Structure 1
């Protein structure tokens, strides 16, 4: 079973101005002369972590990580201004050019898979390969699945009730729009309360086997604030995408080598997301983690992802 590569530190980091008052935190790890790969984190709003560096052989890869607009170490923290899918795609391309990279491998999980796919469909010439985990297609049924009385609420009814109990009386409970209004409202204490409950509900559903350490690490007050508010912002606006945009545009990336890793028991982004993407990309490789849910840190999923990044090394040209 593959294990994460050893912990590493960045050899370079910076804040890159990308316009609209935003500065993107950007770091590089591994081998400066290695194959360039960009890690696109999930959420939206989760930010990159030190663990995310460890899916790639540091002797072979030039590993590029960033925090998307308004989250993690990017500035201004928590900002939702000019924060949408089109801007995030433009930021990635600006980063590629800033680093003087002709084309790079792209690795993304969950929302990161969404953004990776939209980026690749917008700039296919910039993408050498795709490794995607826990696919989120951002269709209307996907947007509703977790937070608008979707199927996940029936499977984890107890966790869902904990989320509902955190909302104020009189709230139209289980409705993305109302939660979003609360989290961007004037009552900051209430906004933080809702954000914490939102994040704990989602992260509690991420692993097949309950993982308290992962839950606590992923739901600190600072991480909850951007994870929940950014997610509500994007979901409320249908991820700023046209209906079924990703599947409808798969012909644009049909020849990009693509590996899809998806947990059989993924409750956050159900398996049909990965299955439908694979059908729309017949040349792709679909790898099913048969003992996993949504999280990248589940052992079988970690194993498959490292297999995939090792295989990417053969795609140099």
Structure 2
């Protein structure tokens, strides 16, 4: 368990990680239970459990919003020790209805997602659990923990995103990120130059919102692919080669992109359905909850400033800056830091 008995504003950087991702993660495993949980308003959430049914409960909170879960994400946890709970948030992954099918986004917001997590916890008979989330998953994890601290053993967070205006402008508008990836930002803006040239000087989030929810499905798809590609291509310190996709994979990619972009943009166009700086202002509610923050030093999607400010506002946290990583949880240094954290929390119940 991390030593969180004293407040600190220090952070550390581990040694450069040389192992492969497959060497770092726990072995692949299959769930022992899956279900679709009815949480009301026509929403049915995909929920799965794997690992030790009698172990320490841990809930994996995926990113996006709208990203969904993947089987490899079970591998951040020792399956002999943890009762591993993964779920797909409203509108994405294997939850229904799916945002790519035109699901009503008016019933998807932060308060409802927090309530959904409580519904899952109660359904599974969990009193307290470790909450694990990265990127938007860190946002939702913090919102949940600040609303229900009595049910949180600890927090393991990665790529801190506090959904403040400057963070949105930095990445989605003509803020700092475009200066680091001008070619990729140009590709991101290309759909706006074609379909909304008079709005290029305005708020890209609002313009994409109109295109993603307009009457032309082809324009919506192009906007979704541009939005999703910008994020995917800038999420790693070293940009990975893009795979050649077969027709079925391409169809799945388009479906993912539509849900991901529609839901994510829906949240960002509505300021995350939170007050500006809410998660920092209410960080005192985390008092007594130990936590580990793993942050890529060169994270362009969620700049390290947010991790530092959260750490300063939450004395029980430990902050690790991974020296050779960007945003992705599948970067070796990030994955190693997360495994180290979950291993340290194994004894908590």
Q: What is the match of residue 176 of structure 1? A: 205
Shift of 1:155: 0.8
Q: State the distance in 1 between where 2:325 and 2:281 align.
A: 28
Which stretches of structure 1, 4 residues or longer, exceed 6 Å deviation after superposition?
214-219
Does 1:270 pair with 2:303?
Answer: yes
Shift of 1:166: 2.6
The counterpart of 2:232, out of the listed 203, 215, 222, is: 203
Does 1:103 pair with 2:124?
Answer: no
Q: What is the match of residue 336 of structure 2? A: 303
Secondary structure at the aligned position of 1:23 is classed as strand
Q: State the distance in 2 between where 1:76 and 1:134 align.
A: 28
Q: What is the match of residue 69 of structure 1? A: 90
The counterpart of 1:121, out of the listed 137, 141, 146, is: 146
Q: What is the match of residue 236 of structure 1? A: 269
Cα contact 1:146–1:202 (8 A) shared by 2: no
Shift of 1:250: 0.5
Q: State the distance in 2 between where 1:73 and 1:11 align.
A: 17
Q: 1:141-164: CA deviations, max 9, x gaps?
A: 112221111211111110000111
Does 1:57 pair with 2:86?
Answer: no
Q: 1:59-114: CA deviations, max 9, x gaps?
A: 11100000000000000000213100000000000100000000100000000000
In the alignment of these two chains, the number of paired residues is 316
Gaps of 5+ in 1: none
Which shifted more, 105-114 or 279-288? Answer: 279-288
Distance 1:193 1:309, change over 3 A: same
Gaps of 5+ in 2: 1-18
Q: What is the match of residue 9 of structure 2? A: none
TM-score, normalisation: structure 2: 0.88
TM-score, normalisation: structure 1: 0.96
Q: What is the match of residue 252 of structure 1? A: 285
Cα contact 1:146–1:268 (8 A) shared by 2: yes
Q: Which entry has the higher C-alpha Rg, 1 or 2?
A: 2
Does 1:293 pair with 2:321?
Answer: no
Secondary structure at the aligned position of 1:176 is classed as helix
Q: What is the match of residue 30 of structure 1? A: 51
Q: State the distance in 2 between where 1:277 and 1:5 align.
A: 29
